[in-house]
Amino acid sequence: MATHTMGMPKKKSGIMDWLTTVDHKKIGVLYIFSGLFFLLVGGVEALMIRYQLIKPMNDFVSGEVFNQLITMHGTTMIFLAAMPMLIGYMNAAVPLQIGARDVAFPFLNALGFWLFFFGGLLLNLSWFMGAAPNAGWTAYAPLSTVPDALGVDFYALGLQISGFGTLMGGINFLVTILNMRAPGMKLMRMPMFTWTAFVASALIVFAFPPLTVGLFLLTFERLFGAHFFDPAAGGNIVIWEHLFWIFGHPEVYILILPAFGIFSEIIPTFARKRLFGYTTMVFATMLIGFLGFMVWVHHMFTVGLGPVANAIFAVATMAIAVPTGVKIFNWLFTLWGGKLTFPVAMLYSVAFIPSFLIGGMTGVMLSVAPADYQYHDSYFVVAHFHYVIVGGVVFGLFAGLYYWFPLMFGKKLHEGLGKIQFWLFFIGFHLTFFPQHILGLTGMPRRVFTYLPNQGWDMMNLLSTIGAAFMGVSTIILLVQLVMALTSKEYVKRDVWGDGRTLEWTLPVPTPEYNFAQTPLVKGLDTFWLEKMAGNTTVSVSEPVGDIHMPNNSILPFVMSVGLFLAGLGFILRLDYGTVGLVIAILGLATTLTAMFLRSWIDDHGYYIPKSVIEEDLRLEAEKEAK
């Protein structure tokens, strides 16, 4: 391919660089900051929900606005905060962990990000266009198909667009992990986070299409007069529930598995001990992923599918507790005999174990179908899934942020403030959600915008709201830390935690755009640690220094996503503004198609970074190390 060698392109600067980048490290940053932004939006919505429920018959918001708040809170947190941040970490860490120079499809990677971003934007635009979606994040038909639920159009199209992006990300990581590993990086030597990213990506590929279909049906029903969910014309409302949960349950594992992976990186690092039962952990991950597809009906125990279906799915659900339990014990025994230190990343990881355990316990309790008739759609369920998703996923997101921030930015988040942030969040979390178990058992349904006094719920709701305020303050502290770190000039050294075990910590700070000057040679699980134990300061390499091929930046992913965004908006506007909407929709689709056409028509062979540049970088780095 040397015939295609071209000169290095001029570096784009500032905002254009971010809009056109195909570098997985930068895309990771884009994902994480967009995710954090949406985390804040979803957090403000959560605080408004809790403020409304602080006392009985409060009138801070109306029932309609409340329903919009809960819908957007759930949708935003799952699709626009948690999942993008996790994909952000995958971008930031996975290629580095497997010794690759980039992901398999850098262009597709950028496209995946921009689709998510514009999908999220379209969804949130609903706040400014009359009404946000109001049928819950589950959007059960026919509540979601009544014409005056205008916001649901934004839900269906926004999620559709961002879902395409997620699907691309999933395929990209599967191929990256299978094909781009450095020599010696056998499957069973891959870091645990890479493994969980792999399984989660596979779940994305198989779970998102049912959602795609569901959203199409919903869109067709709302915009083009179809009758899938209209009993009067022979439709069946249960179809949506099935499609949604066939996607929805694996989605939980798409979120939690990478979080498990993050903890499985952090705990060995700060215990200075290899992950206990690595092989079992890998198979447990796969088993959880597989079983995740077999249990969706446990979200539908009260729908009336009959005792046989309920019993089968109850038992299948219980089975998931086994591999999950194995994981908990393996983490505990990784800690056992270790030399534990507790930076904030480790605090979150250690706090995760009991918090998630409670979520898992209530999960088993919920799997008991006859008991679920009581828990279902009550605050008990709200408590359960927040224990899993906050106590599991969000703790993982924060842990990962503290752990990998130095890798991404070359600087550390303030540890002292971080400890305050952690404790406020930890206490706030339990204070918010523990009382909700009791609320559910004492009869409080979920998604109620208010409640009458004298039902025994006032105290627990008050506590819950106070807890939410703790988490709010904690998040403000996190923002302060982020600003402090990003504006600081104190760069960290290579292998910032001192006990890095995996390849990403062998890289210089900041990571060069080509990642590895020479592709490393992997000698075992935790290869960096093995080399350190053998007295080396860095890992062996598998090739001499040479020219490095790089992909060109491109604005096309951005343009394609803008096009789809406009198309989605146009279709929604068509209902109220007729032709204007239609014109926007057609223009949008045309933009996307043109960009796609350009992409396939123009050959883009990328460029090479010449050997001399790499050698200079290596020399400078060696000098820095020597100091």
Partner 1 sequence: MAHAVEKNPVTGIPTNPEKATLEGKNKYVAFWFFLGGETTLFASLFGTYIGLLNSGAKEGLRSYDIFEMGLVFIMTMLLLTSSLTSVLAMIAMKRNDVKKMKMWLIITLALGLGFLAGEIYEFNHYYHIGHTFTSSAFGSAFYTLVGFHGAHVLFGLLWISTLLIRNWNRGINEVNAPKYYISSLYWHFIDVVWVFIFSVVYLMGMVK
Partner 2 sequence: MVVKKTGKMLFRLLPIGLMALLLSGCGIPELSALQPRGEGAEIQLEIIKLSLWVMLFVLAIVTVIYVYVLMKFRRKKGDNEVPKQVEGSHTLEMIWTVIPILLLVVLAVPTIKATVELADAKEAKKNEVINVTANLYWWEFDYPDKGVTTGQELVIPVGKKVALNLTSKDVIHSFWVPVLSGKTDNNPGLENEMWLHAKEAGTYYGKCAELCGPSHALMDFKVIALEQADYDKWLEDMKAAKEAETKQLDAKNEKNWSKGEQVYAQNCLSCHGGGKVAPSLTNFGDRGNLAGYLKHDKKNLEDWIRDPQKLKQGTKMPGFNESQISDEDLSELADYLLDKKIQ
Applying CB under 8 A, the residues found at the interface with partner 1 are 1, 104-105, 167, 170-172, 174-175, 178-180, 202, 205-210, 212-214, 216-217, 220-221, 224-228, 230, 232-236, 239, 242-243, 246, 519, 543, 597, 600-601, 603
Residue of 525, 87, 444 lying closest to 282 (CA atoms): 525
Return the residue of 361, 484, 486, 590 that touches partner 2, per CB under 8 A.
361
Which whole-number Å values give the CA distances from 445 to 96, 300, 301, 450, 457, in the listed order?
46, 16, 16, 10, 11
Which whole-number Å values give the CA distances from 312 to 315, 317, 318, 369, 536, in the listed order?
5, 9, 10, 10, 54
Residue 332 interacts, among partner 2, partner 1, none and using kind-specific CB cut-offs from 5 to 8 Å, with: partner 2
Do 327 and 348 contact (CB within 8 A), yes or no? no
Return the residue of 236, 538, 540, 552 that touches partner 2, per CB under 8 A.
236
What is the distance between the alpha carbons of residues 415 and 497, in angstroms, rounded to a whole number? Answer: 12
Is the Cβ of residue 104 or residue 471 nearer to partner 1 in the bound state? 104
What is the distance between the alpha carbons of residues 209 and 247, in angstroms, rounded to a whole number? Answer: 8
Is the Cβ of residue 191 or residue 250 nearer to partner 1 in the bound state? 250
The nearest distance, CB 340 to partner 2, in angstroms, is 5
335 touches partner 2 (CB under 8 A): yes
56 touches partner 2 (CB under 8 A): no
Is the Cβ of residue 201 or residue 527 nearer to partner 1 in the bound state? 201
**CB neighbours of 550 closer than 8 A, spacing ≥ 6?**
101, 102, 513, 514, 606, 607, 608, 609
- Residues in contact with partner 2, shown as a per-residue x/- string from 532 to 551 under the rule CB under 8 A: -x------------------
271 touches partner 2 (CB under 8 A): yes
Adjacent-strand bridge partners of 378: 445
Do 540 and 527 contact (CB within 8 A), yes or no? no
590 touches partner 2 (CB under 8 A): no
Contact window for partner 2 (CB under 8 A) among 101-109, 209-217, 323-331, 603-611: 323-331
Tokens 């969980």 correspond to what residue? 196
What is the distance between the alpha carbons of residues 220 and 152, in angstroms, rounded to a whole number? Answer: 12
Residue 209 interacts, among partner 1, partner 2, none and using kind-specific CB cut-offs from 5 to 8 Å, with: partner 1
The nearest distance, CB 304 to partner 1, in angstroms, is 15
Is the Cβ of residue 392 or residue 563 nearer to partner 1 in the bound state? 563
Single-letter residue type at 530? L
Residue 185 Ramachandran class (φ > 0 left, ψ -120 to 50 alpha, else beta): beta
The nearest distance, CB 141 to partner 1, in angstroms, is 12
Write down how long the chain is.
Answer: 627
273 touches partner 2 (CB under 8 A): yes
SS (H, E, C) 392-457: HHHHHHHHHHHHHHHHHHCCCCCHHHHHHHHHHHHHHHHHHHHHHHHHHHCCCECCCCCCCCCCCC
The nearest distance, CB 405 to partner 2, in angstroms, is 22
Is the Cβ of residue 65 or residue 213 nearer to partner 2 in the bound state? 65
Is the Cβ of residue 106 or residue 435 nearer to partner 1 in the bound state? 106
Angle ∠(89,481,80) on CA atoms, nearest 5: 40
Footprint on residues 447-466 left by partner 2 (CB under 8 A):
447-452, 454-457, 459-460
Contact window for partner 2 (CB under 8 A) among 1-9, 96-104, 161-169, 355-363: 355-363
Is the Cβ of residue 214 or residue 248 nearer to partner 1 in the bound state? 214
Is the Cβ of residue 217 or residue 366 nearer to partner 1 in the bound state? 217
476 touches partner 2 (CB under 8 A): no
Cα pseudo-dihedral 418, 419, 421, 423, rounded to 10: 160
What is the distance between the alpha carbons of residues 503 and 391, in angstroms, rounded to a whole number? Answer: 28
Residue 121 interacts, among partner 2, partner 1, none and using kind-specific CB cut-offs from 5 to 8 Å, with: none
276 touches partner 2 (CB under 8 A): yes
Residue 597 interacts, among partner 2, partner 1, none and using kind-specific CB cut-offs from 5 to 8 Å, with: partner 1
Is the Cβ of residue 20 or residue 236 nearer to partner 1 in the bound state? 236
The nearest distance, CB 176 to partner 1, in angstroms, is 8
71, two tokens: 């819908």
What is the distance between the alpha carbons of residues 293 and 319, in angstroms, rounded to a whole number? Answer: 12
364 touches partner 2 (CB under 8 A): yes
The nearest distance, CB 380 to partner 2, in angstroms, is 9
Do 278 and 525 contact (CB within 8 A), yes or no? yes
Return the residue of 27, 28, 49, 67 that touches partner 2, per CB under 8 A.
67
Return the residue of 235, 292, 406, 557 that touches partner 2, per CB under 8 A.
235
Tokens 């979803």 correspond to what residue? 42
Is the Cβ of residue 73 or residue 181 nearer to partner 1 in the bound state? 181
| Side-chain-facing half-sphere of 171: CA atoms under 13 Å | 14
227 touches partner 2 (CB under 8 A): no
What is the distance between the alpha carbons of residues 238 and 296, in angstroms, rounded to a whole number? Answer: 13
What is Dmax (Cα atoms) for the chain?
80
Do 113 and 26 contact (CB within 8 A), yes or no? no
352 touches partner 2 (CB under 8 A): no
The nearest distance, CB 93 to partner 1, in angstroms, is 20
Contact window for partner 2 (CB under 8 A) among 81-89, 135-143, 424-432, 571-579: 135-143
| Residues near partner 2 (CB under 8 A), total | 96
What is the distance between the alpha carbons of residues 457 and 442, in angstroms, rounded to a whole number? Answer: 8
3-state secondary structure of 548: strand
379-388 vs 415-441: helix crossing angle, rounded to 10: 150
Residue 225 interacts, among partner 2, partner 1, none and using kind-specific CB cut-offs from 5 to 8 Å, with: partner 1
